[in-house]
Amino acid sequence: MIEMDNVFVHEKALCESAAIGNGTRIWAFAHILPGAKIGEGCNICDGVFVENDVVVGDNVTVKCGVQLWDGVSLEDDVFVGPNATFTNDRFPRSKVYPEAFHRTIVRKGASIGANATILPGIEIGPGAMIGAGAVVTRSVPPNAIVAGNPARIKGYVQIGGAQMSKPVLLTQPQGAVEGGVQDLGVGGATLHDLKVVADMRGSLTAGEFERNIPFIPQRYFVVFDVPSREVRGEHAHKKCKQFLICLKGSVGVLLDDGKSRRELVLDSPGIGVYMPEMIWGTQYKYSKDSVLLVFASNFYDQNDYIRTYDEFQKLSASANAD
C-alpha cells in the first residue's frame, strides 16, 4: 500500500496508485491498480476494482461492487450506483486482447443507477441520469433520463438536477397572451397559435412571415419517417433562428438556454414554436406518422452549429456575462 497525505485508505483496501487526490476515501476490499488516476474528494466504496487506464475526476462516488476497466473515464461529480457494470470489449475472448480498449466516457454530473450495464465505446452526456438496471447500448445525450433494456430516453432533467414536470400537450395552447403568442421562458423562445380553418372540405392552417413567424426564412427542411425512439437535433446555432411546426403526428421538443429548460409536445399543425439562436434544441418521442416542418432564417452553414453541450454552455455563459 502506498502512503499518501490527506487520503484515507482502509486497512483492508489495496491502493497501488500514487495518483490519488486530496480528501479521497478508499474503503475495504477496494483494489486500485498502479496506473489509475483518481481525483480529489472521491468516495470509492467497498469491493470496487479500478484498472490501470482509468481516470476518475473530482468528487466522484463509486458505490460497492463496481469495476472500472481500462478505457473508462469518469468526469467530476459523477455518481455510479452499486453493482453498475462497465465493459470495454464488444467481442471478448479468453486470452485474446484488442490493440486498444474502447473508451467509455461519463461526463460531468451524470448518474448511473444500480445494476445498470454500460456497453463499451459510448459517451454518457453531462447531467444524464441512467435508471437502475438499464442496459445502455448507445451514447446518451446531455441531461437525458434513460431506462430499460435497451435503454431509451424517457425524459430530461431540469436545470439544477430535478426531473422536469410532464411536458404539455399543445393541441390547445395554454396561457397564450393576446395575439396568440406565449413566452416559454427559455431564451426568447415563444409558442405561436397559428390560424386554422376547418370545414366539410377539409382543414387549412396558414401563417405569414414576419407576422406569425418572426423572420423571413432562407431555407426549410422536413423531418419524417423517424423511428419513434430516435433523437434528432441535439445542437444549437450561433445565429440561425428556427420555427418548428408538426404537420402530422406528434414530437417532443426540448428547449434549453443554459439557464432554463422546458419540454413541449407539438401535436397540431396549428401550433408553432419559435426557437431563437443560442437555444440547445432536441427533438425526440416522434410518433410513427410524425412530419416536422422547420423554417430556418439562414442558409445552411456548418460553422454556425454548436455540436457539443459543453461548448454551448461556455458560449451561453460568456454571452450572459456580456
Active-site annotation holds for 102: no
The Cα 314–Cα 250 span in angstroms is 32
List all residues 6 or more positions away from 20 whose beta carbon is below 8 Å from its beta carbon.
4, 7, 26, 32, 38
**Degrees to nearest 5, angle at CA 253 with 258 and 165:** 75
The Cα 192–Cα 70 span in angstroms is 51
Exposure string of 108-117, with b = 16+ CB inside 10 Å and e = fewer, is: bbbbbbbbbb
Catalytic residue among 31, 102, 235, 237: 235
- Residues with active-site annotation: 235
